[in-house]
Amino acid sequence: MSKKPLIGITSTQEKGDNPPNYQIGKHYVKGVAKAGGIPVILPLLQEENEIKEMAKNLDGLLISGGVDMDPMIFAEEPHPKLGRVDPERDYFEKTILESFMEQGKAVFGICRGCQIINLVLGGTIYQDITAQIDKDLIKHSQNAPRWHATHSIEIEKGTLLEKIFSGNSAKVNSYHHQAVKEPAPGFIVSARAKDGVIEAIESKDNQFLVGVQWHPEHLWEKDEKTFKLFQMFVNQARG
């Protein structure tokens, strides 16, 4: 049996904690473990050398969901509907992602994770889709259990996502008000919602570098195809 890969999962700092506590939803951890990885919850270190050393010792990186990105990172002023930001988390995730890119290791971004992958590599995002997209949108912040899929996505042919889901459509859950606007150079859009909002991006090269806008960590226990996302990510991290 091959050695199980170490999968780093980025944490969040909850508002109001004094001092802040590093936290992460258990479904990320359980999904990685079920797929055959060893989950490692990552503290938001602020020393570049420490972050790079951390990256060397990990086999895969899962960038979890969370608060909004600071728009100053991508040279925009804050929109009135911008939510809470965490500059320490922004710095940590940007730095460790860049290190993983340099090493060619597997990266999987969920919700905010999808957005930061796109931003760090040169793409753009909407700070608030309802205010910045001039068209009728479906509901992207559901009032339903997190394990329940509330809208459909259309998956592009020939993509890794099509291979994972064995088809050109799927149903997903939805908890976001930001989204990818222009994909970063070297990336393709692999899925969209019916209203055109980007739901997934992936790298054109051979590195596993995938971002999804929905929250598969809450779906994998009930949906076998969603679980394949975790399996493929962990297998790629194993090398």
Catalytic center residues: 111, 215, 217
CA atoms within 13 A on the CB side of 10: 31
Question: What are the backbone dihedrals phi and psi of residue 54, each rounded to the nearest 5 degrees, phi first?
Answer: -60, -45
Q: Among all chains, which residue has been given the structure tokens 């051979």?
A: 206
**Assigned token pair, 170:** 């799927």
Handedness of CA 204, 208, 210, 216 (dihedral sign): positive
Helix axes 224-238, 26-34, angle to 10 degrees: 70
- In sequence order, which residues have a C-beta less than 8 Å from that of residue 16 and are 6 or more positions away? none
Q: Which of 25, 65, 19 is nearest to 41 (CA)?
A: 25
b/e per residue 17-51 (b: at least 16 CB within 10 A): eeeeeeebbebbbebbeebbbbbbebebbeeeeeb
User: Dihedrals φ, ψ of 213, to 5°?
Assistant: -85, -25
